[in-house]
Amino acid sequence: MIRFEHLSYRYPGADATILQDLSFEIAEGEFLLVMGPSGAGKSTLLRCLNGLVPHFYGGTVSGEVLVDGRDPVALGPRGMADLVGFVLQDPEAQFVVDRVEDELAFALENQGLPPILMRKRVEEALDQINIAHLRHRSVSTLSGGERQRVAIAAVMTLQPRVLVLDEPTSQLDPQAAEEVLDTLVKLNQDLGLTIILSEHRLERVVQYVDRILYFSGNGQRPILGEPRQVLSQVELTPPLITLAKALDWSPIPLTIKEGRRFARKAARHRPDGNKAPEATPPSQRRNDQPPVSISVKGLGFSYNGHPALQDLSLDVRRGEFVALMGRNGAGKTTLLKQLVGLLRPDQGRVQIVAPTSGAAMDTRKASVEEIIQYVGYVPQNPNALLFNDTVRQELDFTRHGHGLPPGEYEGLLDTLGLTEYASHYPRDLSVGERQRVALASILVAEPQVLLLDEPTRGLDYQQKASLVAFLQRERARGRTIIMATHDVELVANCADRVILLGDGQVVVDGPTRQVMSESLVFASQINKLFRDPALLTVEDALSLYATDAS
């Protein structure tokens, strides 16, 4: 179906080739996962399949790609449109027409198909993706997941035989991502569509894909093969796989179900002398509780009539690392905005306690400028912040906003691994780097409390790992951190308290281990694997089961 022959490609102006002498084949009806750290050339490869590379980006191509006998480099995107469907990352940037149904028809109209045929095609697409209920909606009123599905439907109307998706879920929360991936699996299994997908969250797709193509970047040639064999050679993997490799279980389990078998075996003869970690994190153990740094009492708030928070009360103590979890619209972001004073309570109150004086400041009275002296908030989308010409200027801007003199940022930039980018244009950086710049531009004001909204969205394992490390360091410095996230593994790794929001109210509030082991949805893979409150992370499991634990 698809054949690469010695394909190499170099971006215009770039000195190194990003794709080096690729040769492999992809069979018809195959579900191929393309993985690897960002910037390794995944998207470039995908864009070769429909001629966007080189026709859109220019650059120098050598070698050949053939898709069903057609040459994208010769035909260009237009020539490939009816064969290769292409879906992008950003659910907001893919629509030409405002109404779903017309959006689906757009491509067909451009092909000049007769109306009757168009009607049929559109109906089919609506059913395949089952979004028929959205047909009359305006795209601007859709959720991210719905948008991505509409985008998929919009290319399906051309009835392509290959579907290429470039990180379609990286901007979505787990539920939405689930929807999209299920759709893809269905398309692959029902229609025998060849699907080529690049994706960070392996744990969700890995069981469905036939093969994996791994780009390690830094010039090594990519690895192509069965999921198990590829994953065994890859270092950054989901916890289950990591553990499996550490305890050399084979064949490597791809799902929790498969994993359970090994888990039971491991549990049966576990090396004695290994102790499970205490079920309560250190901060809880100390009997002298640190002072409260944020206290919320009976907080109620509603967006023009729709209640977002109802009678919500909680205290956050200094140095705590709190994770806010809960499904979309549970009120996580709203709560964070309340804490930083961007929104003001309708009922109840939010108090921020100044660390030095210990004076409590009520957000209903205090101005945002006062509040941000103590509280820093990193919004979901770093692009909303960045507008200066260099990273350094971004930091200066924040300091200026706080009435502080521009300072020396070496330490901060270093801990965030941004030193070499200090004078880069922020928007030339990768998603993860942008995220960190945004973080830096908030931290530079040295807030006592740090609020994070979905900090791992769009990050790959590597970037996630470095973020985790950084956050733990910050916390060790005694900074209070409150983080709204869907990322269970992240929570398992660094939070010591989880607050589960549901419908604007606190459903559960307790130590991470306890909450996770009690909940089914918000449990880490390892925890699901062993169903043991003591075990959340790979480290926990290893400390218990590793044969050479010492």
31-70 residues near other proteins, rule: CB under 8 A: 47, 50, 52, 54-62
Site track for other proteins across 470-509, x = CB under 8 A: ----------------------------------------
Amino acid at 238: P
How many chain residues interact with other proteins (CB under 8 A)?
A: 88
Compute, in degrees rounded to 10, the torsion defined by CA atoms 110, 116, 118, 120: -170
Torsions phi, psi of 487, nearest 5?
-80, 95
Q: Rule CB under 8 A: is residue 357 a binding residue for other proteins?
A: no
**Whole-number minimum distance, CB 71 to other proteins, in Å?**
10
Cα(51)–Cα(74) distance, rounded to whole angstroms? 8
List the interface residues with other proteins, window 368-387 (CB under 8 A): 368-369, 372, 376-377, 379, 381, 383-387
Q: Is 359 in the site for other proteins (CB under 8 A)?
A: no
Nearer to other proteins, 113 or 422 (CB): 113
List of E strands, 398-518: 449-453, 480-484, 497-502, 505-511
Q: Does 439 bind other proteins (CB under 8 A)?
A: no
Q: What is the DSSP letter of 271?
A: P
Q: How far is the CB of 125 from other proteins (least distance, A)?
A: 12
- Record the tokens describing residue 252, joined without a space: 């490597």
In angstroms, what is the minimal distance from the CB of 225 to other proteins? 28
Q: Binding string, 72-101, against other proteins, x = CB under 8 A?
A: -xx-xxx-xxx-xxxxxxx-xxxxxxxx-x
> Any long-range contacts for 534-541 (C-beta under 8 Å, 24+ apart)?
534/276, 534/277, 534/279, 535/276, 536/492, 536/512, 537/239, 537/489, 537/492, 537/493, 538/239, 538/242, 538/243, 538/246, 540/276, 540/277, 541/243
Closest approach of Cβ 70 to other proteins, in Å? Answer: 13
Are 211 and 25 in contact, with CB atoms under 8 Å apart?
A: no
Among 271, 290, 291, 401, binds other proteins (CB under 8 A): 401
Phi, psi of 166 (to 5 degrees): -100, 100
Q: Give every CB contact of residue 182 below 8 A, 6+ residues apart in sequence.
A: none
CB of 101 to other proteins, least distance (A): 7
**139's tokens:** 């795209």
Contact between 458 and other proteins by CB under 8 A: the answer reads no
List binders of other proteins among 307-346 (CB under 8 A).
Answer: 337, 340, 342
Cα 276 → chain centroid: 30
Between 72 and 239, CB nearer to other proteins: 72
Beta bridge partners of 138: 99
Q: Which two tokens stand for residue 520?
A: 């089914």
Question: Count of residues for the chain?
Answer: 550
Site string for other proteins, 135-174 (x = CB under 8 A): --xxxxx---------x--xx--x----------------
Nearer to other proteins, 62 or 233 (CB): 62
Question: Where does this chain touch other proteins (CB under 8 A) — which range of 133-141, 254-262, 277-285, 503-511?
Answer: 133-141
Bond into 282 cis (ω within 30)? no
Assess contact for 35 and 198: CB atoms under 8 A: yes
> By C-beta, is 151 or 241 nearer to other proteins?
151
* Binding pattern for the stretch 3-32 against other proteins, x by CB under 8 A and - elsewhere: ---------x--------------------
Does residue 398 bind other proteins (CB under 8 A)? yes
